[in-house]
A and B are shown apart, each in its own frame.
Chain A
């Protein structure tokens, strides 16, 4: 199994390394398949980004092609001026956007305050990174156009100083030689070479520098390099600091020059361009005056840069916060359970945290779904050894069967979070159906525990009166800790006399000959042979028609919330079932498939 580590270098950029599979909470290949993409949200983001880019590009292009104050500039440069400026505006826009998707704390804050960012947490992380990459490609493309266009511009400027240039072009290039004239052509003589001229201007030097920075960042961010050496990717990416500084001062030389407004009033461009000979003599054509365009990139990027700086400071501060490990449990299936405490930590079921272990790697942050309920005074995660980092962690905590570790010898951990959307909508329905496949069961652990605390230990009457839980799994061995949880819930509920509150169905979809033999032998026993639970495991995939029909018959006129965590294909089936079994009668049964919540 490859290092399925979403190695987080205190940054969502780390997601770029392992693609979409995370260590331990998720098997490889479960990439982004925990819940369906809300069809209207994700393509909408890409499309609006593209739309804004196109609008900015075309609008700026047309402006520079038609604008009077740049008419004389266009005489020398032609369309390449417009190409360069249009791509520059798009570059400003994209450079503004690129820092935003990777500010995870910022996004978390926003998510907390507004509901329009709710979405499955895994999807959110993937989305952010995909967007970051998309914007990066946008920057690369616009940078290419910009560089090539300005390359041509410089050559045209140079050529227009040559003895072969004549007419308006030559006259315009000579402007600036006399004391009361302002220049148009930044290259003042033909007897120089364009490279020297480039290196004499602020724009040229910074342009070269930031192009190099961009190229270095891109070549070290390919998936191959990310997976081979996360450190190289992460450290080289910090060249973006040079990129942004260079970008901010790139326009300081003001070499994109257009006619000043006062000059336009005095000098009638449409007339004067045809009457070059009369420039000095005619009253209509005083010498045109030019000024350079103000640098504007800094205005676009200042905000995001400040926000990102705050983000990094926040991460560092969170990294410094103390995390106390209160309990370490080593489950036989190779799962490590950690109970931790942190000051001011508040969570909701369904959220996840990012954990870093500096003694293993000072750069990697790995996401783990929280498996404890908010009512408990600790928070817990279950970590399965599924890659380099998680194996090292399990070893460091003594999970590989060696002698018990002393509390003071345990490695220090840093925890960032919690992030992600909360699964609280479950409580708003009188009946809820929770369906999880494989690894998708982890967030439901927190949910079930939370349901238990809220419904059985609190005195208030909750709306929720029945929970159906379906778990479809190929290899329950890896989740025997979850089966343990169900077992303890089952016992506690029968103690409280609330056996009918939770009805769970486990479906085993993969077995081999030995297991089948074993199951057949123990078929008639009271408890299930695989899980030890009183409710028997089913074999094979669930018949959803049957399940939904049963639920519909038991609750004829209720609103039922359906929560699903698993692959897209199954989510489509579930959605279809919800539609099929919802009654047309408004007072009848309705299945509400919650896509946004989870």
Chain B
């Protein structure tokens, strides 16, 4: 069933609002409608919002699907520290950005959507959520032979792995490939 993190929905909504603002802004600027400078503003605001919202934050529980190519923007957004990771600030930022666009018809839908996104972010902030970047883990190189602590102590021919793995009190120590064997009591090896 899963637990919703409100920020997830707020993020989608804000990204959509950014795109709507850009579209409305382009139409207003291209059509040179009255107050078209607000259209130019909307384009800029929309681009800023899209860049800010594109990198998805890490969920506190479970795995997060990254958006394609978001790691570059994640680095940029991370730089701003609490300005971007705190959702209260984001909520008010979005609210502020949406106000000027509300005076132009072409971008009024963008304003409404952004205002909704801002309120969802506020809800997320009240629930204590914050943005954490998704870090790519450095690939762990498997060390060849790192798990072999002791070479096999009996010469070949050795019994097959199955016989060696049989749960018994006397276990053969130093079985290669299975990790270091911890024996509850000292053992001697038994050649079958």
Chain A contact residues, CB within 8 Å of chain B: 3, 7, 144, 147-148, 151-152, 154-155, 158-159, 193-195, 198, 208, 211-212, 215-216, 218-220, 222-225, 227-232, 361, 364, 388-389, 513-514, 517
B108 within 8 A of A: yes
Interface string of B99-111 (1 = CB under 8 A from A): 0000111101100
Residue from the list A154, A215, A220, A388 in contact with B1, Cβ < 8 A: A388
With the chains together, A193 CA to B108 CA distance in Å? 13
Segment of B2-10, B74-82, B85-93, B148-156 in the binding face: B2-10
Contact (Cβ within 8 A) B2 A228:
yes
> What are 11 sample pairs from A and B whose C-beta atoms fall under 8 A apart?
A155-B31, A155-B105, A159-B33, A193-B105, A195-B103, A212-B109, A215-B13, A224-B8, A225-B8, A230-B2, A232-B4
Q: Are B116 and A389 in contact (CB under 8 A)?
A: no
A68 to B: closest C-beta gap in Å: 27
CB–CB B112/A208 < 8 A:
yes
Q: Mark B5-36, 1 if CB is under 8 A from A, else 0.
A: 10011001100100010011001000101100
CB pair B8 A215 closer than 8 Å? no
Q: Are B1 and A208 in contact (CB under 8 A)?
A: no
Measured CB to CB, the residues of B under 8 A from A are 1-5, 8-9, 12-13, 16, 20, 23-24, 27, 31, 33-34, 56, 59, 62, 65, 103-106, 108-109, 112-113, 116, 160-162
If over half of B's interface residues share one DSSP class (helix, strand or loop), that class is named, otherwise mixed; here it is helix
CB–CB B27/A148 < 8 A: yes
B8 touches A154 (CB 8 A): no
Residue in B2, B5, B24, B104 whose CB lies within 8 Å of A227: B2
Q: How far is the CB of B189 from chain A (nearest CB, A)?
A: 22
Q: A215-B20, A220-B12, A225-B12 are in contact. Are A389 and B113 (CB under 8 A)?
A: no
Establish whether residues A151 and B12, one from each chain, have CB atoms under 8 Å apart when the complex forms.
no
One of A3, A152, A158, A361 near B34 (C-beta < 8 A): A158
User: Could you say which residues of chain A place their CB within 8 Å of the CB of B104?
Assistant: 195
Query: A227 to B8, alpha carbons, bound, how many Å?
Result: 11
Query: Does A151 lie within 8 Å of B27, measured CB to CB?
Result: yes
14 new A-B contacts at CB < 8 Å, known A148-B23, A218-B16: A3-B2, A155-B31, A158-B34, A193-B34, A216-B116, A224-B12, A224-B56, A225-B9, A228-B5, A228-B8, A228-B62, A229-B4, A361-B1, A513-B161
A-B contact count (CB 8 A): 94
Taking a contact as CB atoms under 8 Å apart, the answer to whether B1 and A389 are in contact is yes
In contact, B1 and A211 (Cβ under 8 angstroms): no
A208 x B109 contact (CB < 8 A): yes
- Nearest CB of chain A from residue B163's CB, rounded to whole Å: 10
Q: Give CA–CA (A211, B108) in the complex, Å.
A: 11
- Given known A-B contacts A155-B31, A195-B103, A232 and B109 have beta carbons under 8 A apart: no
Contact across chains for B105 and A195 when beta carbons are under 8 A apart: yes
Q: What residue of chain A has the Cβ atom nearest to residue B105's Cβ?
A: A194
**CA gap between A422 and B18 in the complex, in Å:** 49
* CA gap between A155 and B34 in the complex, in Å: 8
Q: Which residues of A contact B1 (CB under 8 A)?
A: 3, 7, 229-231, 361, 364, 388-389
Tell me the complex Cα distance, A250–B62, Å: 43
Contact between chains at B9 and A232 (CB < 8 Å): yes
A219: chain B residues within 8 A (beta carbon): 9, 12-13, 16
Q: What is the CA–CA distance of A225 and B65 in the complex, to the nearest angstrom?
A: 11
Closest chain-B Cβ to A407's Cβ sits at a distance in Å of 27
Which chain A residues border B106 with CB–CB below 8 Å? 151, 155
A230 to B103, CA, bound (A): 36
| Alpha-carbon distance A207/B113, docked complex (angstroms) | 14
A364 to B34 alpha-carbon distance, docked (Å): 50
Are A198 and B8 neighbours in the complex by a CB distance under 8 Å?
Answer: no
Give the distance in Å from the alpha carbon of A144 to the alpha carbon of B26 in the complex. Answer: 13
Q: Measured between C-beta atoms, what is the minimum distance from A230 to chain B in Å?
A: 7
Contact A198 B33 (CB under 8 A): no
Q: How far is the CA of A234 from the CA of B65 in the complex (A)?
A: 21
Option from B13, B105, B113 in Cβ contact (under 8 Å) with A151: B105
Residues of A within 8 A of B24 (CB): 151
Contact B34 A222 (CB under 8 A): no
Residues of B within 8 A of A229 (CB): 1-4, 8
